[in-house]
Structure 1
Amino acid sequence: MSRYAETLDWLFAQLPVFQRTGGQNYKIDLSKTWAFMEVLGHPEKDFPSIHIGGTNGKGSTSHMVASCLQEAGYRVGLYTSPHLVDYRERIRLNGLPCSEEFVVDFVETWRTHLQRLELSFFEMSVGMAFVYFRDMHVDVAVVEVGMGGRLDSTNVLHPLVAAVTNIDLDHQAFLGNTRAAIAGEKAGIFKPGVPAIVGERHPETDAVFRSHAAQVGASLQFAEDLAVTLTPTDLLGSYQAKNQRLARAILAAQQVFPVSEDELARGLLHVAEQTGLQGRWQVVSQEPFTVLDTAHNVHGLRETMAQFTSMGKGPMHIVFGMVGDKDASAALELLPKDAKYYFCAPAIPRALPVEALTILGEALGLTSCAYPNVHAAWGAAQSAATSADRIYIGGSTFVVADALKPKSAS
């Protein structure tokens, strides 16, 4: 086993990881993160940043912003989560993941403090990213919120712009049971004197954002209200239009790193190429048409299913799995009744057992078979499909992650 693999095993084994096990590792304050920043010499103060949260689209928006800044010639750090295939996807410089050596050296250098402070996996990762950005002398870093905002470990930043994509019901056990409550948590990234931008309006959340912005002394804009001319992007999901509108508003709101319209257009046209983004309406085959998408809640699946069902006329095959803390019944109700389903479970402890998913699907009249893993389900869909058919793979970020990994790894 390589030193890098051993280091990752240690990182994942230290404390429960929300990505894998769920909410028992959700922190109630930022005290440990602040303590870690002090130990590290406060790297969060050593680079300008752009902070992006929200229910859906924050990853895509972050990659769009980073790509445009790269196109303008800046040295751009990018921190996102979760990763799909390799942990190093979380920490990038001009689209390239940090080195395996950096990950190993960081953990070896700070291991005593990581253990003494009893940091979570996410707290460790945030500290690692911020040290990397400092050490690599980035001009600016684009940082995606992990979950929520107010109590998220990334919220030690004082950014150039704080943005929230949209609000819908997700992670209610930790963020609240209403859109207004969730908006309050996500508005926690607003800072005094820092432009705040919200991508999408909603009657339940607009007043919450206005109130929080006023309380902290932040100017507030809704990107939905801005007159913006959208340009082509290599991110092909129909939902990316909203993300592009927000990305443009974010870059316009900060004055430190100018980006011309030509640079914006080129950056938006080459997002995946320049930042390594995967899993967002990622077309992996044309015959049969096969697309992977990380949409994993009602808000996201409503958009992806509308696009998928509108493309072509061939029979539909849907490879689908979820994690146990999502509203699987509500998600399944959005899926087309005339598709054939290949239910599976992603290879993480949080996964919804495929037997439970099958029972829920049967109750809704969905025609399905159950499979032991994502690749087995995908293989069955490929075997059943003709070149004119359509295959969708999704339901969870971790289903897409398993699909992108080699069969032996997943």
Structure 2
Amino acid sequence: MYQRIGNAAFKKSLDNIIALCNALGQPQHQFKSIHVAGTNGKGSSSHMLAAVLQEAGYKTGLYTSPHLKSFTERIRVNGQELPEDYLVYFVEQHRQLFESIKPSFFEMTVALAFKYFAEQQVDVGVIEVGLGGRLDSTNIITPEVSLITNIGYDHQSMLGDTIGEIAAEKAGIIKTNVPAVISTRQPEAEEVFMAKAAEVGASLYFAPDHFRLEHTVADLQRQVFQVYRDEKLYLQGLELDLVGVYQQYNLPGVLQALAVLQEQKGFIIPEGALRKGLANAKSITGLKGRWQVLQQQPLTICDTGHNEDGVKQVLQGLERLQPKQVHFVFGAVNDKDVTKILELLPKYYTYYFCQANIPRALPVQELLQKAASAGLQGKGYRTVADAIAAAKANAAPDEVIFIGGSTFVVAEIDEL
């Protein structure tokens, strides 16, 4: 299971997922789909799309990864998690198939999602890529639209060492005659996307060329934007309940993808559904861990951002709060170079280093050594819960506690 052991669980081939889905009757072709890839923002973007489509009256499947608390979070229909008894039934039904094909945990999960969505007769499934794109198990669908969010450094050992190489893996989801939307413009990546779209004959939309946002409100409950489309006011006072700074980079891609669905694919998405979906995306889809406020005094926030870009956005968000002091609970995984991330972290924060309860966690003693080399002061704790308890004991009511560094640290927060 990639979530627990990392790179060793990744299969660089689509053979297994094709064999599985062939045996299951090709469920991936029995519903319309939207495919979402990217380094950061693909999860939030997937949830936003699902929330809007659900509000527009479509029976909507949502497949995301990894999960935070329960495996069933990965597969939802109209916001409802996969029933546990269906999961048991599916595994029992197809045990022999799994034993003959020997798929990875992720391959089995993707096949399960496709089969469940087909049986539930969803109108549309929003499918988030697990890792990369080209060789990701989800990449056997022919979607209505492909969406690629920000490209940053993550999983370089599998995807490449440059933005261009990583973008080429993500660009693997761009398919013949399927419109592709890119959420942000990045010089090293955009040439790769343009070349791939030209090669396969896909129309390409860079969302910032068409949608421009102006912040009017940003607090801990919501963000409100004036939205301009092709420089004309398009939506006044558009509210979003995802409050991370970085959502301003995701939202144009979501709006452009929804415009493609409406204008080219026959979807009917009234403005009211768009507004209600975005204003209530978290409650509609069950999204957790994205700049989530856990407590007010001291203000306690968690976020799953875990690579350079993600951590930069987190630090920007913390800076906006103008806190007296930040108590930062931090853990990392052992298969990524955490040095660059530690070098980004402010020296004046108080740190509580810890390790999540998974085999992939970077041992806290190693993390302490790396942190010291980066000039960070802090203590080590054997568990996430111990680190959070220490931060709560030390933080004054007008200070800030932040919990993050890894999805798996956030997953162990009791209040989540």
CA contact (8 A) 1:85 1:405 kept: no
- TM-score by length of structure 1 reads 0.93
**Post-superposition offset of 1:380:** 0.3
CA contact (8 A) 1:297 1:327 kept: no
What is aligned with 1:265? 275
Residue aligned with 1:290, SS: strand
State the distance in 2 between where 1:163 and 1:111 align. Answer: 34
State the distance in 2 between where 1:349 and 1:313 align. Answer: 34
Alignment of 1:143-222 (within 5 A): 143-222=127-206
State the distance in 1 between where 2:413 and 2:266 align. Answer: 40
For residue 315 of structure 1, what is the amino acid of its counterpart? Answer: Q
What is aligned with 1:26? 10
Residue aligned with 1:154, SS: coil
Matched, 1:285 2:292: no
Cα deviation digits, residues 335-356 of structure 1 (max 9, x gap): 1111100000111111111111
State the distance in 2 between where 1:256 and 1:109 align. Answer: 37
Alignment of 1:227-238 (within 5 A): 227-228=211-212, 229=227, 231-238=238-245
What is aligned with 2:335? 325
1:294 to 287, 304, 325: 304
Residue aligned with 1:343, SS: strand
State the distance in 2 between where 1:227 and 1:108 align. Answer: 48
For residue 328 of structure 2, what is the amino acid of its counterpart? Answer: I
For residue 251 of structure 1, what is the amino acid of its counterpart? Answer: L
**Post-superposition offset of 1:25:** 2.0
For residue 375 of structure 1, what is the amino acid of its counterpart? Answer: A
State the distance in 2 between where 1:51 and 1:387 align. Answer: 43
Residue aligned with 1:388, SS: coil
CA contact (8 A) 1:295 1:395 kept: yes
**Post-superposition offset of 1:122:** 0.3
Residue aligned with 2:211, SS: coil
Cα deviation digits, residues 277-329 of structure 1 (max 9, x gap): 00000000110000010000001100111111220332110000011122211
**Post-superposition offset of 1:404:** 4.1
What is aligned with 2:119? 135
State the distance in 1 between where 2:267 and 2:369 align. Answer: 53
CA distance change for structure 1 residues 266 and 369 in 2, over 3 Å: closer, same or farther? same
State the distance in 1 between where 2:325 and 2:108 align. Answer: 46
1:91 to 75, 83, 104: 75
Q: How many residues align?
A: 390
CA contact (8 A) 2:7 2:335 kept: no
1:244 to 251, 254, 265: 251
CA distance change for structure 1 residues 115 and 405 in 2, over 3 Å: closer, same or farther? farther
CA distance change for structure 1 residues 160 and 391 in 2, over 3 Å: closer, same or farther? same
State the distance in 2 between where 1:404 and 1:126 align. Answer: 28
CA contact (8 A) 1:316 1:340 kept: yes
State the distance in 2 between where 1:382 and 1:272 align. Answer: 26
Residue aligned with 2:352, SS: strand
CA distance change for structure 1 residues 104 and 324 in 2, over 3 Å: closer, same or farther? same
State the distance in 1 between where 2:268 and 2:307 align. Answer: 35
Residue aligned with 1:60, SS: helix
Pairwise CA RMSD: 1.1
For residue 293 of structure 2, what is the amino acid of its counterpart? Answer: V
Residue aligned with 2:94, SS: helix
What is aligned with 1:382? 392
1:303 to 307, 313, 318: 313
CA contact (8 A) 2:311 2:405 kept: yes
For residue 400 of structure 2, what is the amino acid of its counterpart? Answer: R
**Post-superposition offset of 1:405:** 7.1
**Post-superposition offset of 1:360:** 1.4
Cα deviation digits, residues 138-175 of structure 1 (max 9, x gap): 01000000000000000000000011101111111111
Matched, 1:353 2:337: no
State the distance in 1 between where 2:113 and 2:211 align. Answer: 35
CA contact (8 A) 1:149 1:189 kept: yes
Segments of structure 2 that go 5 or more residues without pairing to the other structure are 213-226, 228-234
Residue aligned with 1:378, SS: helix
Cα deviation digits, residues 195-220 of structure 1 (max 9, x gap): 00111111111110000011111001
State the distance in 1 between where 2:338 and 2:392 align. Answer: 25
Deviates more, 1:300-309 or 1:229-238: 229-238
Cα deviation digits, residues 67-101 of structure 1 (max 9, x gap): 00011111000000000000000000011101000
For residue 86 of structure 2, what is the amino acid of its counterpart? Answer: F
Which is richer in strand?
2
Residue aligned with 2:351, SS: strand
For residue 300 of structure 2, what is the amino acid of its counterpart? Answer: T
CA contact (8 A) 2:245 2:316 kept: no
Structure 1 moving runs of 4+ over 2 Å: none
State the distance in 1 between where 2:373 and 2:29 align. Answer: 53
CA contact (8 A) 1:295 1:397 kept: yes
What is aligned with 2:223? none
What is aligned with 2:232? none
Alignment of 1:28-43 (within 5 A): 28-43=12-27
What is aligned with 1:110? 94
State the distance in 2 between where 1:198 and 1:179 align. Answer: 15
What is aligned with 1:367? 377
Cα deviation digits, residues 73-132 of structure 1 (max 9, x gap): 110000000000000000000111010000000000001101110000000000100111
For residue 288 of structure 2, what is the amino acid of its counterpart? Answer: Q
State the distance in 1 between where 2:87 and 2:415 align. Answer: 21
